[in-house]
Structure 1
Amino acid sequence: MQWIARLRDEGTTGLRLHAVAHNDPGISDRMSVGFVGGGGRWLIETQQARVSDVWQARWQVVNKDDPDQKIWEVAYFRIDQGRSHIPLRTKSLTALRQDLMTVLSKIEAFAARQKLEHFAGVFRKARGLLSSDHPLAETYHSDLAPTPAMPLEAKQLLGAVQAAWVFGGMGTWNDLGFDGDDQRENDALSGELFVLLNQALCSAINTTSGVAGP
Protein backbone atom coordinates (compact mmCIF):
# COMPACT_ATOMS: atom_id res chain seq x y z
CA MET A 1 0.00 0.00 0.00
CA GLN A 2 2.94 2.34 0.63
CA TRP A 3 4.13 1.70 -2.92
CA ILE A 4 0.69 2.43 -4.38
CA ALA A 5 0.40 5.61 -2.31
CA ARG A 6 3.83 6.71 -3.53
CA LEU A 7 2.85 6.09 -7.15
CA ARG A 8 -0.27 8.18 -6.63
CA ASP A 9 1.72 11.01 -5.08
CA GLU A 10 4.15 10.91 -8.03
CA GLY A 11 1.27 11.52 -10.43
CA THR A 12 0.74 7.98 -11.69
CA THR A 13 -2.51 7.76 -13.66
CA GLY A 14 -2.58 4.06 -14.53
CA LEU A 15 -0.75 0.74 -14.52
CA ARG A 16 -0.25 -1.59 -17.44
CA LEU A 17 0.93 -5.20 -17.61
CA HIS A 18 3.41 -6.40 -20.23
CA ALA A 19 4.70 -9.90 -21.04
CA VAL A 20 8.11 -9.89 -22.73
CA ALA A 21 9.57 -13.06 -24.24
CA HIS A 22 13.06 -14.22 -23.26
CA ASN A 23 13.67 -15.72 -26.72
CA ASP A 24 16.28 -18.06 -25.24
CA PRO A 25 17.53 -20.32 -28.06
CA GLY A 26 18.20 -23.09 -25.54
CA ILE A 27 14.68 -23.41 -24.12
CA SER A 28 11.33 -21.86 -25.01
CA ASP A 29 9.42 -19.70 -22.55
CA ARG A 30 6.67 -22.32 -22.56
CA MET A 31 9.06 -25.02 -21.39
CA SER A 32 10.92 -22.83 -18.89
CA VAL A 33 7.78 -21.53 -17.21
CA GLY A 34 7.99 -24.17 -14.48
CA PHE A 35 11.32 -22.77 -13.24
CA VAL A 36 11.89 -19.66 -11.13
CA GLY A 37 12.57 -16.79 -13.51
CA GLY A 38 11.33 -18.78 -16.52
CA GLY A 39 8.42 -18.19 -18.84
CA GLY A 40 9.43 -14.74 -20.01
CA ARG A 41 9.47 -11.42 -18.18
CA TRP A 42 6.41 -9.80 -16.60
CA LEU A 43 6.64 -6.02 -16.31
CA ILE A 44 4.44 -3.40 -14.68
CA GLU A 45 4.39 -0.04 -16.43
CA THR A 46 3.35 2.87 -14.19
CA GLN A 47 2.12 5.70 -16.40
CA GLN A 48 2.21 9.39 -15.68
CA ALA A 49 0.87 12.05 -18.03
CA ARG A 50 3.90 12.11 -20.33
CA VAL A 51 6.30 9.36 -19.20
CA SER A 52 6.35 5.89 -17.67
CA ASP A 53 8.44 3.89 -15.23
CA VAL A 54 8.88 0.12 -15.55
CA TRP A 55 9.00 -2.37 -12.67
CA GLN A 56 9.99 -6.03 -12.56
CA ALA A 57 9.63 -8.62 -9.80
CA ARG A 58 12.40 -10.71 -8.25
CA TRP A 59 11.55 -13.89 -6.36
CA GLN A 60 13.90 -15.16 -3.66
CA VAL A 61 13.74 -18.05 -1.21
CA VAL A 62 14.09 -16.52 2.25
CA ASN A 63 13.09 -19.40 4.55
CA LYS A 64 13.02 -22.83 2.95
CA ASP A 65 12.12 -24.42 6.30
CA ASP A 66 9.00 -22.32 6.93
CA PRO A 67 6.37 -24.70 8.41
CA ASP A 68 3.63 -22.99 6.36
CA GLN A 69 5.77 -23.28 3.21
CA LYS A 70 5.74 -19.52 2.76
CA ILE A 71 9.31 -19.60 1.54
CA TRP A 72 9.25 -16.84 -1.07
CA GLU A 73 9.89 -13.13 -0.86
CA VAL A 74 8.90 -11.00 -3.85
CA ALA A 75 10.40 -7.54 -4.39
CA TYR A 76 9.67 -5.15 -7.26
CA PHE A 77 12.48 -3.09 -8.74
CA ARG A 78 12.21 -0.04 -10.96
CA ILE A 79 14.28 -1.00 -14.01
CA ASP A 80 13.47 2.00 -16.21
CA GLN A 81 12.40 5.54 -15.36
CA GLY A 82 11.05 8.53 -17.26
CA ARG A 83 10.74 6.67 -20.54
CA SER A 84 8.02 7.15 -23.16
CA HIS A 85 4.81 5.19 -22.80
CA ILE A 86 5.12 1.59 -24.03
CA PRO A 87 2.85 1.13 -27.06
CA LEU A 88 0.35 -1.70 -26.93
CA ARG A 89 0.93 -3.86 -29.99
CA THR A 90 -1.62 -6.60 -29.54
CA LYS A 91 -4.82 -7.84 -31.09
CA SER A 92 -8.27 -6.64 -30.11
CA LEU A 93 -10.14 -8.53 -27.39
CA THR A 94 -12.49 -9.90 -30.05
CA ALA A 95 -9.61 -11.18 -32.20
CA LEU A 96 -7.86 -12.74 -29.20
CA ARG A 97 -11.09 -14.43 -28.14
CA GLN A 98 -11.61 -15.86 -31.63
CA ASP A 99 -8.01 -17.06 -31.90
CA LEU A 100 -8.18 -18.66 -28.45
CA MET A 101 -11.43 -20.40 -29.33
CA THR A 102 -9.78 -21.86 -32.44
CA VAL A 103 -6.58 -23.12 -30.82
CA LEU A 104 -8.47 -24.48 -27.78
CA SER A 105 -10.70 -26.49 -30.09
CA LYS A 106 -7.65 -27.91 -31.88
CA ILE A 107 -5.69 -28.77 -28.75
CA GLU A 108 -8.80 -30.27 -27.11
CA ALA A 109 -9.22 -32.55 -30.12
CA PHE A 110 -5.53 -33.47 -29.94
CA ALA A 111 -5.81 -34.32 -26.23
CA ALA A 112 -8.90 -36.44 -26.90
CA ARG A 113 -7.09 -38.37 -29.65
CA GLN A 114 -4.27 -39.06 -27.19
CA LYS A 115 -6.86 -40.25 -24.64
CA LEU A 116 -5.85 -37.48 -22.24
CA GLU A 117 -9.38 -36.92 -20.98
CA HIS A 118 -8.39 -34.68 -18.07
CA PHE A 119 -6.61 -32.21 -20.32
CA ALA A 120 -9.33 -32.42 -22.96
CA GLY A 121 -11.79 -31.40 -20.25
CA VAL A 122 -9.58 -28.53 -19.17
CA PHE A 123 -9.46 -27.12 -22.69
CA ARG A 124 -13.20 -27.68 -23.11
CA LYS A 125 -13.91 -25.72 -19.93
CA ALA A 126 -11.69 -22.85 -21.07
CA ARG A 127 -13.52 -22.74 -24.38
CA GLY A 128 -16.84 -22.57 -22.57
CA LEU A 129 -15.69 -19.65 -20.42
CA LEU A 130 -15.06 -17.63 -23.58
CA SER A 131 -18.84 -17.59 -24.09
CA SER A 132 -19.95 -17.44 -20.47
CA ASP A 133 -21.95 -14.56 -18.98
CA HIS A 134 -20.16 -15.15 -15.66
CA PRO A 135 -16.71 -16.39 -16.72
CA LEU A 136 -14.95 -15.83 -13.40
CA ALA A 137 -17.56 -17.46 -11.18
CA GLU A 138 -15.97 -20.92 -11.50
CA THR A 139 -12.31 -19.88 -11.42
CA TYR A 140 -9.95 -19.98 -8.46
CA HIS A 141 -9.01 -16.31 -8.76
CA SER A 142 -12.56 -15.06 -9.11
CA ASP A 143 -11.52 -11.64 -7.74
CA LEU A 144 -9.14 -10.84 -10.62
CA ALA A 145 -11.64 -8.33 -12.00
CA PRO A 146 -13.04 -6.46 -8.97
CA THR A 147 -13.96 -3.37 -10.98
CA PRO A 148 -17.19 -3.23 -13.01
CA ALA A 149 -15.25 -1.18 -15.56
CA MET A 150 -13.77 -4.36 -17.06
CA PRO A 151 -15.82 -5.44 -20.09
CA LEU A 152 -17.33 -8.91 -20.26
CA GLU A 153 -15.05 -9.89 -23.13
CA ALA A 154 -12.00 -9.15 -20.98
CA LYS A 155 -13.43 -11.22 -18.10
CA GLN A 156 -14.04 -14.09 -20.52
CA LEU A 157 -10.39 -13.96 -21.52
CA LEU A 158 -9.27 -13.94 -17.87
CA GLY A 159 -11.45 -16.95 -17.13
CA ALA A 160 -10.15 -18.86 -20.13
CA VAL A 161 -6.52 -18.04 -19.26
CA GLN A 162 -6.95 -19.49 -15.77
CA ALA A 163 -8.72 -22.61 -16.98
CA ALA A 164 -6.35 -23.32 -19.88
CA TRP A 165 -3.06 -22.65 -18.07
CA VAL A 166 -1.61 -26.18 -18.22
CA PHE A 167 2.05 -25.19 -18.40
CA GLY A 168 4.50 -25.89 -15.60
CA GLY A 169 6.71 -28.65 -14.25
CA MET A 170 6.09 -32.30 -13.40
CA GLY A 171 2.57 -33.53 -14.03
CA THR A 172 1.61 -30.63 -16.29
CA TRP A 173 1.05 -30.54 -20.04
CA ASN A 174 4.73 -29.65 -20.47
CA ASP A 175 5.65 -32.98 -18.93
CA LEU A 176 4.04 -34.98 -21.76
CA GLY A 177 5.91 -36.37 -24.74
CA PHE A 178 4.71 -37.88 -28.00
CA ASP A 179 6.19 -39.52 -31.07
CA GLY A 180 6.89 -38.13 -34.51
CA ASP A 181 4.14 -36.03 -36.05
CA ASP A 182 2.17 -36.03 -32.80
CA GLN A 183 5.04 -34.29 -31.01
CA ARG A 184 5.36 -31.73 -33.78
CA GLU A 185 1.61 -31.04 -33.63
CA ASN A 186 1.79 -30.73 -29.85
CA ASP A 187 4.71 -28.30 -30.03
CA ALA A 188 2.87 -26.10 -32.54
CA LEU A 189 -0.46 -26.05 -30.72
CA SER A 190 1.08 -25.66 -27.26
CA GLY A 191 3.36 -22.85 -28.40
CA GLU A 192 0.45 -21.00 -30.00
CA LEU A 193 -1.73 -21.46 -26.91
CA PHE A 194 1.02 -20.25 -24.57
CA VAL A 195 1.55 -17.04 -26.56
CA LEU A 196 -2.18 -16.35 -26.84
CA LEU A 197 -2.78 -16.87 -23.12
CA ASN A 198 -0.05 -14.37 -22.26
CA GLN A 199 -1.42 -11.84 -24.76
CA ALA A 200 -4.97 -12.37 -23.52
CA LEU A 201 -4.00 -11.87 -19.88
CA CYS A 202 -2.23 -8.58 -20.58
CA SER A 203 -4.94 -7.26 -22.90
CA ALA A 204 -7.72 -8.08 -20.44
CA ILE A 205 -5.92 -6.49 -17.48
CA ASN A 206 -4.99 -3.40 -19.47
CA THR A 207 -8.65 -2.60 -20.27
CA THR A 208 -8.86 -1.05 -16.80
CA SER A 209 -5.64 0.97 -16.96
CA GLY A 210 -6.36 4.46 -15.72
CA VAL A 211 -9.94 3.58 -14.75
CA ALA A 212 -10.99 4.55 -11.24
CA GLY A 213 -12.25 1.79 -9.00
CA PRO A 214 -15.69 1.62 -7.40
Structure 2
Amino acid sequence: MQGEIDQLLVLSSAVNAIAQKEPLRLPAAQAKRLRHTEDLTFVDLCKKNDGTVKEQIRFTKLSHWLEDLCNRKVSAAWLVWQPQHETTPSEQTTETYIQPEHMKVAFAGATKSWSLIATGPDFTEHWQSSWGQASWGLQDDREKQQNIWQVRYDCIQKTDQETPRPTIDLAQEIARLDKVLRAMTTLAGQLDHGNWPAVFNKTIDALEGKKGTALPPAIRPPYYAAYSKDAHRLLAAIYSGWVFGGMGSWNDVFFPNPEDQANYDRLTPELYQSLCRAIMAISCSFQRP
Protein backbone atom coordinates (compact mmCIF):
# COMPACT_ATOMS: atom_id res chain seq x y z
CA MET A 1 0.00 0.00 0.00
CA GLN A 2 1.16 3.55 -0.63
CA GLY A 3 2.93 4.96 2.43
CA GLU A 4 0.69 7.92 3.10
CA ILE A 5 -2.48 5.82 2.99
CA ASP A 6 -0.79 3.22 5.17
CA GLN A 7 -0.02 5.90 7.73
CA LEU A 8 -3.63 7.09 7.72
CA LEU A 9 -4.80 3.55 8.42
CA VAL A 10 -2.32 3.32 11.30
CA LEU A 11 -3.64 6.60 12.72
CA SER A 12 -7.30 5.63 12.40
CA SER A 13 -6.59 2.31 14.13
CA ALA A 14 -4.82 4.11 16.97
CA VAL A 15 -7.73 6.54 17.45
CA ASN A 16 -10.29 3.73 17.39
CA ALA A 17 -8.25 1.84 19.96
CA ILE A 18 -8.40 4.86 22.24
CA ALA A 19 -12.17 4.98 21.78
CA GLN A 20 -12.23 1.34 22.94
CA LYS A 21 -10.18 2.23 26.05
CA GLU A 22 -7.04 0.54 24.77
CA PRO A 23 -3.58 1.78 25.98
CA LEU A 24 -2.69 5.27 24.79
CA ARG A 25 0.27 4.20 22.65
CA LEU A 26 1.08 2.47 19.41
CA PRO A 27 2.43 -1.06 19.75
CA ALA A 28 6.16 -1.11 18.99
CA ALA A 29 5.84 -2.98 15.70
CA GLN A 30 3.38 -0.43 14.32
CA ALA A 31 5.19 2.59 15.75
CA LYS A 32 8.09 1.66 13.48
CA ARG A 33 5.78 2.38 10.54
CA LEU A 34 6.33 6.07 11.31
CA ARG A 35 10.12 5.76 11.28
CA HIS A 36 10.47 7.80 8.09
CA THR A 37 8.60 10.77 9.56
CA GLU A 38 9.36 13.38 12.13
CA ASP A 39 6.87 13.85 14.93
CA LEU A 40 3.61 14.64 13.17
CA THR A 41 2.30 18.20 13.25
CA PHE A 42 -1.44 18.85 13.64
CA VAL A 43 -2.68 22.28 12.57
CA ASP A 44 -6.02 24.11 12.83
CA LEU A 45 -7.10 26.07 9.75
CA CYS A 46 -9.50 28.97 10.25
CA LYS A 47 -10.88 31.02 7.38
CA LYS A 48 -10.91 34.75 8.18
CA ASN A 49 -13.40 37.35 6.99
CA ASP A 50 -11.03 38.59 4.28
CA GLY A 51 -10.87 35.09 2.77
CA THR A 52 -7.38 34.27 3.99
CA VAL A 53 -6.67 31.24 6.12
CA LYS A 54 -5.14 31.43 9.57
CA GLU A 55 -2.95 28.51 10.62
CA GLN A 56 -2.53 27.59 14.26
CA ILE A 57 -0.36 24.68 15.31
CA ARG A 58 -2.29 22.52 17.75
CA PHE A 59 0.15 19.67 18.37
CA THR A 60 3.66 18.77 17.29
CA LYS A 61 3.65 15.20 18.59
CA LEU A 62 1.40 12.30 17.71
CA SER A 63 1.04 11.30 21.36
CA HIS A 64 -0.31 14.78 22.24
CA TRP A 65 -2.92 14.57 19.48
CA LEU A 66 -4.02 11.13 20.65
CA GLU A 67 -4.15 12.26 24.27
CA ASP A 68 -6.33 15.22 23.35
CA LEU A 69 -8.77 12.96 21.49
CA CYS A 70 -8.84 10.64 24.49
CA ASN A 71 -9.61 13.53 26.86
CA ARG A 72 -12.47 14.61 24.60
CA LYS A 73 -13.84 11.06 24.64
CA VAL A 74 -13.39 10.30 20.96
CA SER A 75 -15.81 7.58 19.89
CA ALA A 76 -14.64 6.61 16.40
CA ALA A 77 -12.35 7.38 13.49
CA TRP A 78 -12.39 6.30 9.87
CA LEU A 79 -10.94 7.16 6.49
CA VAL A 80 -12.66 8.92 3.63
CA TRP A 81 -11.59 8.72 0.02
CA GLN A 82 -13.06 11.30 -2.36
CA PRO A 83 -11.53 10.80 -5.81
CA GLN A 84 -10.84 13.79 -7.99
CA HIS A 85 -12.36 14.21 -11.40
CA GLU A 86 -10.26 12.60 -14.08
CA THR A 87 -10.47 13.34 -17.78
CA THR A 88 -11.69 10.55 -20.03
CA PRO A 89 -9.81 9.89 -23.29
CA SER A 90 -12.50 11.78 -25.23
CA GLU A 91 -12.10 14.81 -22.94
CA GLN A 92 -8.33 14.96 -22.98
CA THR A 93 -6.41 17.80 -24.57
CA THR A 94 -3.00 19.21 -23.75
CA GLU A 95 -4.68 21.84 -21.58
CA THR A 96 -7.32 19.67 -19.85
CA TYR A 97 -5.48 16.43 -19.14
CA ILE A 98 -5.55 15.41 -15.48
CA GLN A 99 -3.24 12.56 -14.54
CA PRO A 100 -5.17 9.60 -13.10
CA GLU A 101 -4.86 9.17 -9.37
CA HIS A 102 -3.51 5.63 -9.68
CA MET A 103 -0.49 7.18 -11.40
CA LYS A 104 -0.11 10.19 -9.10
CA VAL A 105 -0.21 8.00 -6.02
CA ALA A 106 3.32 6.81 -6.82
CA PHE A 107 4.63 10.15 -5.52
CA ALA A 108 4.52 11.36 -1.91
CA GLY A 109 2.00 14.13 -1.37
CA ALA A 110 0.70 13.93 -4.92
CA THR A 111 -2.91 12.92 -4.28
CA LYS A 112 -5.65 15.04 -2.74
CA SER A 113 -8.29 12.47 -1.96
CA TRP A 114 -7.78 11.04 1.52
CA SER A 115 -8.80 12.34 4.93
CA LEU A 116 -9.30 11.02 8.45
CA ILE A 117 -12.50 11.71 10.38
CA ALA A 118 -12.42 11.72 14.18
CA THR A 119 -15.63 12.19 16.16
CA GLY A 120 -16.86 12.31 19.74
CA PRO A 121 -19.79 13.53 21.86
CA ASP A 122 -19.45 17.18 20.85
CA PHE A 123 -17.17 17.25 17.82
CA THR A 124 -16.34 15.95 14.38
CA GLU A 125 -13.00 16.85 12.81
CA HIS A 126 -11.74 16.30 9.27
CA TRP A 127 -7.97 15.92 9.16
CA GLN A 128 -6.02 16.41 5.97
CA SER A 129 -3.67 18.99 4.53
CA SER A 130 -4.74 22.16 2.78
CA TRP A 131 -3.93 20.23 -0.42
CA GLY A 132 -6.22 17.39 0.56
CA GLN A 133 -3.88 14.99 2.35
CA ALA A 134 -0.96 14.80 4.70
CA SER A 135 1.60 17.40 3.69
CA TRP A 136 4.77 15.46 2.99
CA GLY A 137 8.08 17.18 2.38
CA LEU A 138 11.73 16.13 2.37
CA GLN A 139 14.14 17.33 5.02
CA ASP A 140 17.40 18.87 3.85
CA ASP A 141 19.36 16.86 6.41
CA ARG A 142 17.43 13.63 5.90
CA GLU A 143 20.56 11.43 5.78
CA LYS A 144 21.78 12.77 9.09
CA GLN A 145 18.43 12.55 10.84
CA GLN A 146 17.22 9.24 9.34
CA ASN A 147 13.73 10.80 9.22
CA ILE A 148 13.16 11.85 5.65
CA TRP A 149 9.62 13.17 5.80
CA GLN A 150 8.04 16.14 7.51
CA VAL A 151 4.35 15.29 7.80
CA ARG A 152 1.57 17.68 8.67
CA TYR A 153 -2.17 17.16 9.07
CA ASP A 154 -4.59 20.08 8.91
CA CYS A 155 -8.01 20.21 10.52
CA ILE A 156 -9.92 21.65 7.57
CA GLN A 157 -13.43 21.23 8.94
CA LYS A 158 -14.98 20.83 12.38
CA THR A 159 -18.47 20.77 13.84
CA ASP A 160 -19.83 20.56 17.39
CA GLN A 161 -21.80 17.38 16.73
CA GLU A 162 -20.94 13.70 16.74
CA THR A 163 -21.11 11.90 13.39
CA PRO A 164 -22.10 8.23 13.15
CA ARG A 165 -19.42 6.04 11.63
CA PRO A 166 -20.54 4.71 8.23
CA THR A 167 -21.47 1.06 7.87
CA ILE A 168 -19.89 -0.53 4.81
CA ASP A 169 -20.51 -4.11 3.65
CA LEU A 170 -17.14 -5.86 3.62
CA ALA A 171 -18.57 -8.83 1.70
CA GLN A 172 -19.63 -6.47 -1.08
CA GLU A 173 -16.15 -4.95 -1.25
CA ILE A 174 -14.60 -8.43 -1.37
CA ALA A 175 -16.85 -9.40 -4.27
CA ARG A 176 -16.11 -6.16 -6.12
CA LEU A 177 -12.36 -6.57 -5.73
CA ASP A 178 -12.47 -10.25 -6.65
CA LYS A 179 -14.25 -9.46 -9.92
CA VAL A 180 -11.74 -6.87 -11.07
CA LEU A 181 -8.76 -8.98 -9.98
CA ARG A 182 -9.94 -11.92 -12.10
CA ALA A 183 -10.34 -9.62 -15.09
CA MET A 184 -6.85 -8.23 -14.46
CA THR A 185 -5.40 -11.75 -14.30
CA THR A 186 -6.89 -12.57 -17.69
CA LEU A 187 -5.60 -9.31 -19.14
CA ALA A 188 -2.11 -9.78 -17.68
CA GLY A 189 -1.98 -13.16 -19.38
CA GLN A 190 -1.81 -11.34 -22.71
CA LEU A 191 1.60 -9.93 -21.81
CA ASP A 192 4.72 -11.73 -22.99
CA HIS A 193 6.85 -10.37 -20.14
CA GLY A 194 6.74 -9.96 -16.39
CA ASN A 195 5.03 -12.00 -13.70
CA TRP A 196 1.83 -9.99 -13.49
CA PRO A 197 -0.56 -12.99 -13.74
CA ALA A 198 1.18 -14.48 -10.70
CA VAL A 199 0.87 -11.18 -8.82
CA PHE A 200 -2.88 -10.98 -9.39
CA ASN A 201 -3.41 -14.68 -8.69
CA LYS A 202 -1.57 -14.31 -5.39
CA THR A 203 -3.84 -11.38 -4.54
CA ILE A 204 -6.92 -13.47 -5.29
CA ASP A 205 -5.54 -16.19 -3.01
CA ALA A 206 -5.13 -13.60 -0.25
CA LEU A 207 -8.67 -12.39 -0.78
CA GLU A 208 -9.89 -15.98 -0.42
CA GLY A 209 -7.87 -16.41 2.77
CA LYS A 210 -5.76 -19.28 1.50
CA LYS A 211 -2.99 -20.66 3.67
CA GLY A 212 0.22 -18.64 3.68
CA THR A 213 -1.38 -15.42 2.39
CA ALA A 214 -2.10 -13.68 5.71
CA LEU A 215 -0.69 -10.19 6.18
CA PRO A 216 2.76 -10.35 7.87
CA PRO A 217 2.73 -9.00 11.46
CA ALA A 218 5.19 -6.22 10.63
CA ILE A 219 2.73 -4.49 8.30
CA ARG A 220 -0.53 -5.17 10.12
CA PRO A 221 -2.38 -2.11 11.40
CA PRO A 222 -2.35 -1.54 15.16
CA TYR A 223 -4.83 -3.63 17.14
CA TYR A 224 -5.19 -6.07 14.26
CA ALA A 225 -7.46 -8.35 16.30
CA ALA A 226 -10.10 -5.62 16.35
CA TYR A 227 -10.72 -6.23 12.65
CA SER A 228 -12.87 -9.08 11.36
CA LYS A 229 -11.64 -12.08 9.36
CA ASP A 230 -13.11 -10.50 6.23
CA ALA A 231 -11.13 -7.34 6.95
CA HIS A 232 -7.98 -9.44 7.41
CA ARG A 233 -8.50 -10.99 3.97
CA LEU A 234 -9.09 -7.60 2.41
CA LEU A 235 -5.98 -6.16 4.04
CA ALA A 236 -3.83 -9.01 2.75
CA ALA A 237 -5.24 -8.53 -0.75
CA ILE A 238 -4.75 -4.76 -0.66
CA TYR A 239 -1.07 -4.98 0.27
CA SER A 240 -0.48 -7.80 -2.22
CA GLY A 241 -2.41 -6.16 -5.05
CA TRP A 242 -1.14 -2.60 -4.66
CA VAL A 243 0.65 -2.49 -8.02
CA PHE A 244 0.69 1.29 -8.45
CA GLY A 245 4.13 2.83 -8.25
CA GLY A 246 6.93 4.25 -10.31
CA MET A 247 9.24 2.61 -12.80
CA GLY A 248 8.51 -1.08 -13.33
CA SER A 249 5.07 -0.97 -11.71
CA TRP A 250 1.76 -1.85 -13.35
CA ASN A 251 1.47 1.85 -14.21
CA ASP A 252 4.32 1.34 -16.69
CA VAL A 253 2.69 -1.55 -18.56
CA PHE A 254 1.79 -1.08 -22.22
CA PHE A 255 -0.06 -3.50 -24.52
CA PRO A 256 0.72 -3.50 -28.25
CA ASN A 257 -2.77 -4.79 -29.02
CA PRO A 258 -5.23 -1.83 -29.03
CA GLU A 259 -8.06 -3.91 -27.56
CA ASP A 260 -5.86 -5.10 -24.69
CA GLN A 261 -4.66 -1.55 -24.10
CA ALA A 262 -8.26 -0.34 -23.98
CA ASN A 263 -9.04 -2.99 -21.37
CA TYR A 264 -5.94 -1.94 -19.43
CA ASP A 265 -7.06 1.70 -19.49
CA ARG A 266 -10.50 0.67 -18.21
CA LEU A 267 -9.56 -1.95 -15.65
CA THR A 268 -6.57 -0.27 -14.00
CA PRO A 269 -8.61 2.62 -12.53
CA GLU A 270 -11.27 0.08 -11.50
CA LEU A 271 -8.67 -1.89 -9.55
CA TYR A 272 -7.37 1.25 -7.87
CA GLN A 273 -10.88 2.38 -6.95
CA SER A 274 -11.78 -1.06 -5.59
CA LEU A 275 -8.68 -1.08 -3.39
CA CYS A 276 -9.44 2.42 -2.09
CA ARG A 277 -13.06 1.53 -1.31
CA ALA A 278 -11.81 -1.56 0.50
CA ILE A 279 -9.44 0.54 2.63
CA MET A 280 -12.30 2.84 3.60
CA ALA A 281 -14.47 -0.17 4.47
CA ILE A 282 -11.75 -1.66 6.65
CA SER A 283 -11.28 1.60 8.54
CA CYS A 284 -15.01 1.56 9.35
CA SER A 285 -14.97 -2.02 10.63
CA PHE A 286 -12.85 -1.59 13.79
CA GLN A 287 -14.54 -3.34 16.74
CA ARG A 288 -13.59 -4.32 20.28
CA PRO A 289 -12.04 -7.80 19.97
**TM-score (norm: length of structure 2):** 0.65
Query: How does 1:15-164 map onto structure 2 within 5 Å?
Result: 15-25=77-87, 26-49=98-121, 51-56=123-128, 57-63=134-140, 66=143, 70-82=147-159, 85=163, 88=166, 92-132=169-209, 137-139=214-216, 141-144=218-221, 146-164=223-241
The answer to whether the 8 Å contact 1:32/1:39 transfers is: yes
User: Distance in 2 between the 1:154 and 1:171 partners?
Assistant: 29
Pick closer, same or farther for the CA change 1:116–1:94 going to 2, 3 Å. farther
Q: Which residues of 2 match residues 2-17 of structure 1 at below 5 A?
A: 2-17=64-79
Whichever of the two has the greater Rg, that structure is 2
Q: Distance in 2 between matches of 1:195 and 1:89?
A: 18
| Deviation for aligned residue 1:174 | 0.4
Q: Structure 2 CA distance, aligned partners of 1:27 and 1:129?
A: 30
Deviation (angstroms), 1:112: 1.6
Tell me the CA shift for residue 2 of structure 1: 1.4
Structure 1 residues 3 and 156: alpha-carbon distance in aligned structure 2, compared to 1, 3 A threshold: same
Change (3 A) 1:61 1:52: same
CA distance in 2, matches of 1:41, 1:135: 33
Count of aligned pairs between the two proteins: 210
Q: Which residue of 1 aligns with 2:55?
A: none
**Which residues of structure 2 form unaligned runs of 5+?**
1-62, 88-97, 129-133
Q: Which runs of 4+ in 1 moved over 3 A?
A: 67-70, 86-90, 133-142
Partner AA of 2:159 in structure 1: G
| 1:138–1:207 Cα change, 3 Å | closer
1:185 to 2:263 alignment: yes
Where do 5+ consecutive residues of structure 1 fail to align? none
Deviation at 1:3, TM superposition (A): 0.8
